[in-house]
Amino acid sequence: MVSKLSAQTDSQVVSLIRGLSMDAPLAAKSGHQGTAMALAPLAHVLYSRVLRHDPSNPEWKNRDRLILSNGHASILQYASLYLNGYGLELEDLKKFRQFGSATPGHPEVGHTAGIEVTTGPLGQGFANAVGMAIAERNLRARFGASACDHNIYVIASDGCLMEGVSHEAASLAGHLKLDRLVCIFDDNSITIDGPTSLSCSDDVANRFSSYGWKVMQLGEIANDLDALEDALLTARTNRGAPTLCILKSHIGYPSPDFTDSHEAHGNPLTAVHVSSTKRIMGIPDEPFWAPKQLVDAVRQHARSRGQKFTADYERDVSDLEDPHNWRAAWETPGSSSFESLLPIFDSTSNFATRQVIQKALDASLPALPGLIVGSADLTNNTGTKLAKQTAQSATAPDGRQIYFGVREHAMGAAVVGMALHGGVLPVCGTFFVFADYMRPAIRLAALSRAKCIFIFSHDSVGVGEDGPTHQPVEQLASLRAIPGLQVIRPADPNETIAAWCAAVDHHGPTALILSRQHVASVTDGSAVKFGAGIVGEPVAAPKAVLLATGSEVGLCATAQSELKNEDVQVQVVSMPSWDRFERLGQSEKTKLFPQGAPVISVEAGVTFGWHKYADQTIGIDRFGASAPGAIAMSELGISVDAVVRRVKDL
């Protein structure tokens, strides 16, 4: 194994990181240098002694993952990536937080090499790490340690552990006994407002112990590199539980003006303050001090370590008995690999689309070795139940069914972490109204282009008797507003099958919006490919176009038949996906909407957004009501009679 850097080099590297952690925010007039300064020794120990990583191959599958959950301290990670040769250079650090730079204010996966997840909203990165640990263990259990055997490290702040998502995620990790997960809690007792005593008196150690975590009290070793190394190497060998390392640090250290001050959380250091701190550290008082000899030494050390790790791995993985499934899990075969296995529905079929998705999941499972499915205590209700599959657990880590419990916040973020880890295609489900609990994770999934699938059933006031608290009306509009999120609300069984294929083929996150109630098969499913399509035969010179999604497509088809009996011709268009429709050329769009025919949208939710496509709208611009589903729909204006009347009134 590669020898360590000298003690003198280590000391200079820590000072260099601290210097850059002050210089970049000073140049940007924006940033958070305090935590980065305090954790410079930790970052250096992680990258130079603990992490198994290869800067020349940032996507190496078996690398250790490091997540900076307190992403506001991004300059700490950027400085480390620069030093270790991940492609960042001083010019990138000088453009910290500037438009188009490789060093944005918070780490963004896919934007900067070496960043594993997009962090910033506190607690999300911690929960992402739990998902990564689930993925790592499942792959190791199924394909062997030669294929997958690494650790997940996450640095978390007081703020991360205050956020509710951390409670759910920590509870889940403890229950599953995810022993390749190591969380380093930066216990500096500071938030933006001031000392944590203003708002929090949690006993973090006992809290995590109660979840089933192994807790290590590291104490005052934030500046002791050897002690940090010993602690982290011990933590990664703990078995039977995830590990929390509580590290007491001093924000802003070694600033003579802002150490242990809540002001150090932001950007208080002037050039004078930076100079006085550099004087204490004994480094030149010059911006972005980074002597080439020192940087080259660190990079050479990182390169030598990394090449040894990857060479050993490639030798071991070449001996796998079944490398095809291992590689297929990572590559996620497209829908063409399982289309022939999927059920086909004729006009007599009548299923809730949540039932159809379950059939699609089971049918495609043999062709998708990375598929893992779970739900937040609504497994059968949402169709996210894999038949005859073992539940994921500490004793069955190879299970491909996950019971997340009543933890939507953690489920959403964990699924994003699983997707960004790679090797798995995670699918999770809950009632659509609870998408609100998952919105931060869904937004970050879209921002990071995480390939995961969110299944939301009970998609309208058709939920029925549970009433307005459980009847989504505004959720569909809110998800459609998220850039980069593919949203599909299929009309019937055939569109549901097509929607599943579209989700698997999409390079990013997808939300599938499914019905509780049964719906008849009225389409051939082709509308999903283009985002919209004519139901049945095109109508020449229609009086109106009925534009609908989900169960309302069948309703419009019935209205079309009634109107036809009265010699009124209308065309029905199913529009399962706005975002896919927007990819069409203008000529393709206009084919669906004959010139001169007014368009009436019909959807059991708020009408917000529909005016882009429709001249008139039928929807529900109020909260729902407790009643049997069909009655709730009718009383709130979603009925065949309401559609027929609207057309006649034109």
Both tokens of residue 599?
């368009």
pLDDT of residue 66: 98
pLDDT for the residue numbered 1: 55
The tokens for 253 are 């250290």
Question: What pLDDT sits at residue 590?
Answer: 87
Q: Choose, from 108, 163, 168, 408, the residue flagged as catalytic.
A: 408
CB 424 within 8 A of CB 131: no
What does the pLDDT read at residue 324? 62
- pLDDT at residue number 332: 87
* Residue 154, CA distances (Å) to 131, 184, 548, 612 in order: 12, 6, 45, 44
DSSP structural state of residue 391 = B
pLDDT digits (tens, 9 = 90+) for 212-234: 999 999 999 999 999 999 999 99
Given a cut of 50, the residues of the chain with pLDDT beneath it are none
Q: For residue 432, what are its two tokens?
A: 């659509």
CB 85 within 8 A of CB 336: no
Q: What percent of the chain is modeled with pLDDT above 90?
A: 94
| 91 has catalytic annotation | no
546 neighbors 643 (Cβ within 8 angstroms): yes
Peptide bond into 254 cis (omega under 30): yes
The DSSP code for 460 is S
Cβ pair 384, 358 in contact under 8 A: yes
Count how many Cα atoms sit within 13 Å of the Cα of residue 420 in the half-sphere of its side chain: 34
- Give dist(CA 262, CA 571) in Å, integer: 63
Amino acid 317: pLDDT: 84
The answer to whether 112 and 100 have CB atoms below 8 angstroms apart is no
In b/e form, how buried is each residue of 286-309, taking b as 16+ CB within 10 angstroms? ebebbeeebbebbbebbbebbeeb
Strands 518-520 and 425-431: unpaired
Give the HSE-up count for residue 137: Cα atoms under 13 Å, Cβ half-sphere. 28
Q: What is the pLDDT of residue 482?
A: 98
- Give the pLDDT confidence score for residue 326 in this predicted structure: 80
Domains defined along the chain, listed by start = 7-314 (3.40.50.970), 335-520 (3.40.50.970), 530-648 (3.40.50.920)
Give 321-367 pLDDT, tens digit per residue.
Answer: 765 678 888 988 999 999 999 999 999 999 999 999 999 999 999 99
Q: What is residue 320's predicted lDDT score, i.e. its pLDDT?
A: 73
- Report the C-alpha gap between 64 and 139 in whole angstroms: 14
What's the confidence (pLDDT) of residue 268? Answer: 85
Q: What is the pLDDT of residue 325?
A: 79
The phi-psi region of residue 433 (left if phi > 0; otherwise alpha if psi is between -120 and 50; otherwise beta) is alpha
Residue with tokens 């280590």: 10
Q: CB under 8 Å, gap of 24 or more: what pairs does 646-649 form? A: 646/600, 646/616, 646/618, 647/543, 647/544, 647/546, 647/559, 647/563, 647/568, 647/570, 647/600, 648/568
Structure tokens at 509: 């996150």
**pLDDT at position 319:** 73
Is-contact 603 549, C-beta < 8 A?
A: yes
Count of alpha carbons within 13 Å of 323, Cβ hemisphere only? 8
User: b or e along 175-192 (b: 16 or more beta carbons within 10 Å of the residue's beta carbon)?
Assistant: ebbbbbbbbbbbbbbbbe
